[in-house]
Amino acid sequence: MARKKGLGQQDSEDIVQEIFIELWKSAERFDPSQASETAFVAMITRRRLIDRLRREQRRPSTQMMVPEIHDVADGEHEHLENVVEVSLAGKALAKLKPKERDVLLLSAYHGMSHGQIADHTGIPLGTVKTYIRRGLMRVKDMLDSNGGAAPLQEVEV
């Protein structure tokens, strides 16, 4: 995740160490009845990466492409194929309209702002906001309905 956010090797190694320190210190807050280990680790990782990129005022390139949705059964995701949240999120994304899905991925995967997405796609700003909200709610609802991502107790942000 760090490398795919455009961090160099040294920065990536540093941030991975920072993330592990946070994980070790917040391990007591992990509740397996609320989320899988992988989803919990990924959430902490995203927070750190987003904070880091915002601090450095790095903005995603508007040349970024909408990422491909990988089939978790394609053998490339052998570490992730049993992660319930990944499977459910994949199903939820597949049910979205193509434009809604693309906008959500530009936001959630690339971290692009609403304005950047509007500029990049030509979709009106208000519609971008609606697509992101609707898309993320669908994923969240899918996870919630399967008990995979009920709200955790508050974790230090």
Partner 1 sequence: MTREAVREQILDLQIDHATSGLGETERSRLDTLLAQEGETHDTSFELAASAVELVCLGPLEEMPASLKARLRRQGDAFVPRQEHTGPLPDNVTPMRRGSAVETPAQQSAPQPAPERTSGGSNWIPWLLAAAGIGAAVFGWRPIQEPPVQLEGPPVVASVEQRRAVFVDAASDLLSLPWTATEDPAASGAGGDVVWSPERQQGFMRFTGLEVNDPGEFQYQLWIFDGTRDDRYPIDGGVFDVTTSGEVVVPIDAKLNVRQPALFAVTIEAPGGVVVSGRDRIVTLAQVG
Nearer to partner 1, 118 or 143 (CB): 143
* 151: its two tokens: 């709200």
- In the complex, the smallest distance separating the C-beta of residue 124 from partner 1, rounded to whole angstroms, is 17
- In the complex, the smallest distance separating the C-beta of residue 122 from partner 1, rounded to whole angstroms, is 19
d(CA 75, CA 73): 6
* 82: its two tokens: 């049993």
Asked whether the beta carbons of 116 and 60 are under 8 A apart, the reply is: yes
- In the complex, the smallest distance separating the C-beta of residue 44 from partner 1, rounded to whole angstroms, is 9
* 134: its two tokens: 């609707």
Asked whether the beta carbons of 48 and 155 are under 8 A apart, the reply is: no
d(CA 85, CA 82): 9
- In the complex, the smallest distance separating the C-beta of residue 149 from partner 1, rounded to whole angstroms, is 4
Asked whether the beta carbons of 93 and 139 are under 8 A apart, the reply is: yes
